[in-house]
Structure formats: structure tokens, C-alpha cells
Structure 1
Amino acid sequence: MRKICFGSLVVSSALSLTPCLAQGPGPFAGGGAFSGEMTDTSATVLVRLTATVDQLADGTIPGREGEARLRYAAEADLADAKLTAWKKALPGNNWSLKFQLNGLAPATRQFYRVEMRENAGAPVTRSDVHSFMTAPPSSERAPVHFQVTTCQDVRGASTYSAMAEQQPDFCISAGDTVYYDGSALARTVPTAWQAYEKMFGLPEMKAYHRDVGTYFMKDDHDYRFNDADPYMKGRWVSPMKAGAGAVLTQTRGNKRLDVAWLSHEQGIEVFKQVFPLGDRTDRTVKWGKGIQVWMLEGRDFRSPNSQTDGPDKSIWGAEQTAWLKQTLLASDADHRVVISPTPIIGPDRAMKGDNHANLNGFWYEAQAFLDWVKDNGLDNIIIICGDRHWQYFSVDERNGRNIPEFCCGPTSDDHTQQVPPPYKGVRRPYGARRGGFLGVRFDPADRSLACQFYSMTGEPLFKKVFTP
């Protein structure tokens, strides 16, 4: 009887359930492992070596020196498995190791086990079996199912149990994976690392990522702090609400500048250390001929938020914008899906000013891009965004456009905000103050793409189907 490890349980064809346990004296992979950046023939796996098999009482998972390698194969029993070379974990990299797997079979579930040891002469500890899916060949249409999340904290961890039940091919985490300036209170690199231990070390998170490969994107809260750009020296706060560890410097009215936060460079580096990412965080991937996905970087290249809006103000930067347009035009996919950490169409709250859907933000760049989409006849583009704390589906009908945008909403009902009124010329068939996630499915039979909102418990909500 073949057994496949999905979530924290081994599931057999007879539906018997047995725990998956690490075996050996350690080090361990106490935070689980992440697979990501899947293509049709490759993927990246990240594992962090730890001193414990689970979280401590404060949610942290201490790192530990040691070595690790992967044993991987296309069969759950790891028959005829390949082995990576041993790699040594270092404290300056949060004890994390990345393994690049190439030459994989397309449209195939790949299985792997982490083997860990203290040194070359020490006994080996073996993790349970993890898995992920590779993409179909870019020239073939095949069924594809993925999920999108954003704005999460520990209150939304249970949502991932409902997500796991759907057994998606992959997930896109569209930013705000943790909140440095929220409950995590991560002002330094070590405390930023701990923020991820506290969130992704939860049982529901480890179970989900054990068998679902994920493309991770960052936004402001998992970069530096709310609405951060590369040029800010800190946050302007009321001294009474500055919080522990604040370092208050300049004064502006009744507020002080708190400079005790990650720098721009640290924010970029930490995110790459904790997830299976490459050098660039803007990228595109095809999942067969049915879907091509673009994941945009919204913090690294942006102009100052305070700059006067106009043609020289940009979230994406000139290089990313040119790449985005070039690759969109070159795509032959049935559906072009653009994922942005922040909204492009909206609507958004009037008080905001750090994204494309804000009149006092980066409005000019958004309108120019949306006009470019219309002028080039790209009628199969769908935008999906994170960042906003409500679910919505909007259609931009301004200036002769017909461009849809979905926001998946936060993972928790407790993290929602009031839905703002719609903009003139932007039709909104659905808007709800709900937590949960967005599911996207491509059906090769009719080449349709279905976008379905779900609640925290997996209850189906609004659904929209697009056909070529």
C-alpha cells in the first residue's frame, strides 16, 4: 500500500492516518521545510537546522550548527532517489540552507527527505517525507489549481488547514507573511528571523508547506514596517505608542521618528534568507500553456512615497516595468495572471498613499500601465493583489478598459477592515469584509480560468469564470 505524506499525516489509499516523525538525535528541521520557485523541471528547497523538533513556549525555534542534504525522487518511497551534496549551516544565514533541484520530470509530484547531521562523523537524523508539484510543460494544457494568501498572522493559521484539504498544485503568498511592526515586533535581524519561526513553525503552517510548493512575495510588513520605502529612516509615531525597543530621534508636530527598524538592505536580505528564493523577487513562471504568472516586486525599486506623483514616480522601477511589458507581450498563455503585493485598480481607503490605487500615491504609473494593457489588446490579463484587508473583485472600465482585479483578503476574519466605497468607473461585483483565501483553477477542457473566494474554513464564496 503506497503512503503519501500530505500535511502532518501519512495518508494511505485506505485513508489510515499515522504521524510523520523525524528520526535521529538531531539537528532537526523544527520549522519544517519550504519548496518553491517550481518550474517544469526545477525547484528550490529551503531547510533550517534547529536544536528542537518544534517551537518553544515563546514560539521560537532555536537554530543549530550542522549539515544537511536532500534525498529526492518521484516516488513517495524514495526509490532510486538522488542525493544532493552535504551543506553546512551557518549562524549568519539563520542556519538556513537552500538546495537547487534540476532535471525534474514535469507535471510530477516530487518527494524529498532532509538528512541532517552535526558533522561528517555524527549519526544522521531524517525528517519525514515532503513533496511538491512541478509545472506542466509550457507547450501543454493541463489542469492547474493554485491558492493566493496575504496579510497573515497567527490568528489565520487555521485557514491553511482548509487550504490543505483542497490539495492545490502550489500557493502564492502575496506579501505580509509576517508583521514586523505588529505582534512580532521585529526591529532587528535576529527578531525578524524569529517572527518567521513564530508564524511558520505553527503546526498548521508546517503541515501545509510540507506538501505545497509556494512562491513567496514580500510587502511592507515583512520588509521593514507599514508603508515603508527604501528611503525612510524610520516610522513617525506617537511617543506613547512607540512600543518596546523604540529609538526616538527627530520631532515632527506631536510625533517622533522611531529609527529602530530594519534597514532597506536588511529587509531585502532577511526575506531571501527565510524562503526558497533566488536573486530576484520579480519573476514569471508558466504552468503549462493555460497559465503564466507574473509576481511583482513592490518595495525594492520604488520611489519615495512622498515624491510628487507623475511619470518619474514608480513602484516597479524602469527595469522591472520594461521586463513586465516585454514578457507580457511575448506570452502565449491562455491566461496572463499578474500578482501584485498591493492593489493596482482597487478601490482602496482614501487615507492611504503607498500603492497604485491611491490618488496621492502611485496613481500615474498605474493608469499608464492599465492604458498600455488596453492599447496592446491584452484582453486575457487578470490582476490579483494582496495587502488589502477585505476580499474584492473589481473591473476597471475607465477609459474603455475591461481589466479585472481580485484581492484575496487576509487569512483571518480578525484581521479584516471595512470595505471602502468603489471608484467611479470601477465596477465591483463582489466586496466583503471576510478573511480566507483565493483559489484559481484552469480547466484545459474549455481553457477556462475560475477564481473562487473562500472563507477561513473553506466555505465557497464568490466565483468568477473567465473563458478565452
Structure 2
Amino acid sequence: MQAHLTRRGVLSLAGAGVVAAATTASLPALVRMAGTGAPTGADPFTLGVASGEPIPGGVVLWTRLAPDPLAADGSGGMPARPFEVQWQVARDEQFRSVEQQGTYVARPELGHSVHVEIDGLRPGRDYYYRFRAGDAISPVGRTQTAPPDRSSVALNFAVASCAMYEHGYFTAYRHMAEENPDFVVFLGDYIYEHGPHEYQSPTGNVRTFANGHTYTLADYRIRYAQYKSDPDLQAAHAVAPWIVTWDDHEIDNNWADQVPENDGQTPEQFLRRRAAAAQAYWENMPLRHSSAPSGIHMQLYRRLSWGRLATFHVLDTRQYRSDQPCGDGTKVGCEERFDPERTLTGAEQEAWLLDGLARSDAAWNVLAQQIFFAQRDSAAGPPERNYLDSWDGYAASRDRIVHGIIERRPSQPVVLTGDAHRNYAADLKTDFYDQSSETFGVEFVGTSITSTGDGSDSNSGGRTIMSESPHIKFFNNHRGYFRCHVTRDIWQTDFRVLPYVSEPGAPVATRASFITEREHPGLQSA
């Protein structure tokens, strides 16, 4: 079947779970030969397609073969041997003008995942891609290369985080895809590690995990397969490249380097778990081979540029951090958080970040990272109460970054943050205790896709935080994402919210919009 597909056509077919463009209903040859017991007509592309890591000459193309995605052994229903997967990149949706094509060997030890690193494409262009395995052809994905290095072309992108499958439907991904962003920045908690209904939403769990608490490689593979079988998530991946980093739930709640949450794991058990989770993360994300894990270690902090308009400094605030102070949690009077020996990024990543900021000639310098950067006091009146898994738990580490930015004076810093399950917008101050101190940048904190279930416009906790932390200018408790429109002189962020996630099909609306000017740091209502 050949079909003419617009960009919206790519989206609608991916969202409906339809295999687009030249798909055959016959049993894929790879399944038929393997005799896996998969049903007749089994599709090896049940997890969809994705792209990521856009550079001027190319992107990474991703898929994973899984005719039986929830197979109990984590194999996706694939036999334990390599299979060749053909790939194509074209300028048009009908693949009349194929720019590049080739073959990738998908191996069982890497979950039959495919990570094709494309180079040599034209900068700043849309491309379409697909895969073939045996007789089956994948859905068509749309991707985009970054503009030329000296370009200042405008940018539109979306930011998301925190998708707890059991807490709601992924309608926000569908709306995000319909806006046709240039790319998506995902800031962690792509999956959650809990067993069925261990983590209860205040508004009730509306879906159920297919397997138990994740500890092994098979556990994590099944969890990713369940997520990636969701049509709304597939649509968001199929329409634009993604730039991803992880937070805690890709492995274990509030883990810190080699220290797990206090849930009965021995250090040895946690390190085995961390290695398994890192491998599954790489298998399921459109990342380059330079990010492939080696044991427990995975290179995730990196830099990507959108011409001279913006440089994205993507951080990893989990692998290198000191353990949370004062036993973690939200605490009053934790002096340990000021200890100058404590680090959130590790010394090497901190030096890498500050060096990159010093060298950058971009109009905007974006810190894409996981946890609340600005100071946040959640207690009415003294004493101060801080959430210690965020930068507040590592105050000296944050001060080093702030002072480094002030010394180096890179063009306008913007911090993009996930994790909080709430929307916030904040001015970044050289001294958060002195509101008259210099505002050197802004932070946009995105709410969750679904985590904590149906939200509300506001709540008493948010009102207290804004009262006690006047540099925080906006709070909202709905679910959703935010989108950014960036030109050389103006950055605009729109907070896109859904009234509910406990049922599919919720509408989306803009709750608030803010701008910041490159020459005049600080938030202004749009």
C-alpha cells in the first residue's frame, strides 16, 4: 500500500498504530523462520520509530524489533540471534527521493535495538525515514537536521518529563506532536520503576503495569515496551527528533551515584540493577553509540547546538552526585546542604559545563536538566523548608555554577527543568536570599505528562512557595508540557495544560506565557 502522507498524516497513522507506507500483512520472514510462536501477521515494529540528537548533517534513527513486546523474558518475542534491518532516509514521504539507505544488524544482546547514526544530510531540512525487517516495513517517521552552524533561524520545541503510565493517559504527547515541534527535549522519568499500583495517584490509578517492580534487564525491557506500545507516545516520537536525559525513575527513586533509595537493596544488588537499567535506557532511546553504557556508567551530559541561536548543555544530575543530605526528603534546617564538598554534577561535569558556557557564542545558553534549580522554600515563615533531592540540597554546588556564570557572562542563560510535577517560572538571582540582587537568567519548570494524576490550577502548597520565594513568578498544578519559541532576541515559553489525564482525549490550552529578552534577563508576561 502506497499512500500520500502529510506531516499530519504521519502523525495520525503512527497514533493509530497503523504500519504506514508499503506495509504487508504477511508474517514477517524473521518471525516465520525463527518459529517463535508469534501470531500470524505479527509486526516487529510494534514499538514504533524515533529519531534524536539532531546535528547540521544528521540525526540518530531508532527502532527496536519486538513482535511480542511484552514477552516475559524481555526478548520482545525475538529469537536470540542477529537480524538485518534495512533503513532509508528520504526527502519526501513517498520515498521517491531517497537520500541515504543501508543495513543495520540488530543484536539480541542489545534487545534487537537499532541506532543508525546518519551524517552527510543537508542542514536545517525535514527528512522522512523508515525501516524494513523481513517482509515488514515500519511506520514512517519525520525528523529534522539542525541548521547550519552560523545560522540564527528561529526555533520551536517542546519540553516534557515524568510520565507515570498508571496515573493517566498520554494525551499530552498527542497534543505535543500535533504542534509539529522542531524537536522535543525530554528531561527524565520516561518510565517509572514501580510494581503494579505501588505508586498511587491521588486521583486514582487508571492503567496497570504489565510486570512487577523493575530490577533486571528483562524487567526494564518489558517496562519500556509497554510504554512504547502507547500510540500517543509513538506519535510524539514519529513527528520530531528527541533530545533526552534521564532522572531517577529510569532506575530507582531518588538514586544518587552508587546509592539507592532505602528499599532493602544491597550495594551490589543496586549496581547490577543500575547496569541493567542503563542498558535498557540506551536500547530504547534515540541516542548515539557514544552514549552506550559501560557497566554502570553512561555518558549522557553532552552539548547540541541550533546554529548560533542556542546551545543546549544537557546535564546528568544523577550519576555523579553526592548522596542527598539529612536523609533526603523535604526538611527544615538541613545545614548539611551547604557543605562545599557536596556535588550534584561531579567535578568533571561542572568544569565541562562552565568551560562550555565560557566558549559559547550562541544567543541563548540552555541548561537542559532534571531538578528544580532556583531556591524553593515550602514553609510559611521561618525556618526554611527545602526539598533535598533538588539543587536546594546541594546549595554550594549551585553557587559554584551561579558564580561561574556571572564570571563568564555567557549570553542569556535559560534553565529547563522537569521532575517537579508542577509548572513554575522563576527569575534566577545571584543571591536568592536578596531579591534586589542581579537577575542573570530564567528557569522554566515543566509539569508531568501524567504523574500524580489529574491536577488543579493551584493549591495551598504552590501559593506558599510563591509567597516565600518571590523570585518564583508562576505556579500551576495541571499536567501537560511547555513549548518554546526562540528568536535571536526573544524567548517565549507557553505552559500547555490538560484539565485531566484520568481519561483519554482531554483538550489542551495555554495556561500562561512568558517572555524573556536576550538583553534584559528576567520574566515578563507575554
Secondary structure at 1:208 match in 2: helix
Contact 1:396 1:425 in 2 (8 A): no
**Within 5 Å, which residues of 2 pair with 1:253-272?**
263-272=273-282
Structure 1, unaligned stretches of length 5 or more?
12-17, 118-123, 238-247, 251-256
Match of 1:164 among 174, 177, 181: 177
Match of 1:273 among 255, 267, 283: 283
CA distance in 2, matches of 1:401, 1:384: 20
Secondary structure at 2:149 match in 1: coil
Match of 1:225 among 237, 240, 252: 252
Is 2:12 the partner of 1:9?
yes
Residues 197 and 142 (structure 1), Cα distance of their counterparts in 2 relative to 1, 3 Å cut:
same
Secondary structure at 1:450 match in 2: strand
**Within 5 Å, which residues of 2 pair with 1:193-232?**
193-222=221-250, 224-232=251-259
**Within 5 Å, which residues of 2 pair with 1:46-125?**
46-52=62-68, 62-65=76-79, 66-117=83-134, 124-125=135-136
Which amino acid in the other structure matches residue 319 of structure 1? E
**Which has the larger displacement, 368-377 or 187-196?**
368-377
**Which has the larger displacement, 66-75 or 264-273?**
264-273
Contact 2:402 2:430 in 1 (8 A): no
Residues 437 and 274 (structure 1), Cα distance of their counterparts in 2 relative to 1, 3 Å cut:
same
Tell me by how many angstroms 1:136 deviates. 1.1
Tell me by how many angstroms 1:61 deviates. 8.7
Partner of 1:236: 262
Residues 231 and 258 (structure 1), Cα distance of their counterparts in 2 relative to 1, 3 Å cut:
closer
Partner of 1:245: none
Which amino acid in the other structure matches residue 451 of structure 1? T
Which amino acid in the other structure matches residue 495 of structure 2? F
Partner of 1:20: 20
Which amino acid in the other structure matches residue 405 of structure 1? E
Residues 49 and 10 (structure 1), Cα distance of their counterparts in 2 relative to 1, 3 Å cut:
closer
Tell me by how many angstroms 1:260 deviates. 7.2
**Which has the larger displacement, 272-281 or 20-29?**
20-29
Tell me by how many angstroms 1:351 deviates. 6.0
Q: TM-score w.r.t. structure 1 length? A: 0.84
Contact 2:142 2:238 in 1 (8 A): yes
Q: Deviations over 1:89-145 (max 9, x none)?
A: 22221111211111011111111110112xxxxxx3212321111111121121210
CA distance in 2, matches of 1:266, 1:311: 32
Count of aligned positions: 430
Match of 1:135 among 129, 143, 146: 146
Partner of 1:355: 390
Partner of 1:431: 475
Partner of 1:408: 446
CA distance in 2, matches of 1:263, 1:57: 20
Tell me by how many angstroms 1:156 deviates. 4.2
Structure 2, unaligned stretches of length 5 or more?
31-43, 197-208, 292-298, 327-335, 379-384, 432-436, 499-506, 519-526
CA distance in 2, matches of 1:37, 1:8: 20
Partner of 2:204: none
Q: Deviations over 1:381-419 (max 9, x none)?
A: 011111111100011335323131111111137166953
Q: Deviations over 1:8-27 (max 9, x none)?
A: 4369xxxxxx9736425325
Tell me by how many angstroms 1:263 deviates. 2.9
Contact 1:186 1:192 in 2 (8 A): yes
CA distance in 1, matches of 2:322, 2:270: 22
Tell me by how many angstroms 1:300 deviates. 1.6
Tell me by how many angstroms 1:431 deviates. 0.6
Is 2:395 the partner of 1:370?
no
Partner of 1:452: 494
CA distance in 2, matches of 1:203, 1:57: 19
CA distance in 1, matches of 2:77, 2:377: 40
CA distance in 2, matches of 1:113, 1:84: 10
Match of 1:336 among 352, 358, 365: 365
CA distance in 2, matches of 1:208, 1:34: 9
Secondary structure at 2:139 match in 1: strand
Contact 2:11 2:239 in 1 (8 A): no
**Which has the larger displacement, 80-89 or 165-174?**
80-89
Tell me by how many angstroms 1:202 deviates. 0.4
Tell me by how many angstroms 1:424 deviates. 5.4
Secondary structure at 1:272 match in 2: helix
Secondary structure at 2:353 match in 1: helix
CA distance in 1, matches of 2:55, 2:253: 32
**Within 5 Å, which residues of 2 pair with 1:256-335?**
263-278=273-288, 279=291, 280-306=299-325, 308-309=336-337, 310-335=339-364
Residues 182 and 381 (structure 1), Cα distance of their counterparts in 2 relative to 1, 3 Å cut:
farther
Which amino acid in the other structure matches residue 20 of structure 2? C
Q: TM-score w.r.t. structure 2 length? A: 0.75
Is 2:486 the partner of 1:442?
yes
CA distance in 2, matches of 1:189, 1:275: 15
Tell me by how many angstroms 1:353 deviates. 1.9
Contact 1:37 1:44 in 2 (8 A): yes
Tell me by how many angstroms 1:182 deviates. 5.7
Is 2:190 the partner of 1:177?
yes
Contact 1:169 1:212 in 2 (8 A): yes
Contact 2:88 2:102 in 1 (8 A): no
Partner of 1:126: 137
Secondary structure at 1:320 match in 2: helix
Tell me by how many angstroms 1:47 deviates. 1.0
Partner of 2:157: 146
Which amino acid in the other structure matches residue 493 of structure 2? C
Is 2:71 the partner of 1:30?
no
Secondary structure at 2:67 match in 1: coil
Partner of 2:34: none
Percent identity (aligned): 19
Contact 2:141 2:238 in 1 (8 A): yes
CA distance in 1, matches of 2:256, 2:265: 19
Contact 2:115 2:286 in 1 (8 A): yes
Residues 348 and 204 (structure 1), Cα distance of their counterparts in 2 relative to 1, 3 Å cut:
farther
CA distance in 1, matches of 2:75, 2:276: 21
Which amino acid in the other structure matches residue 218 of structure 2? P
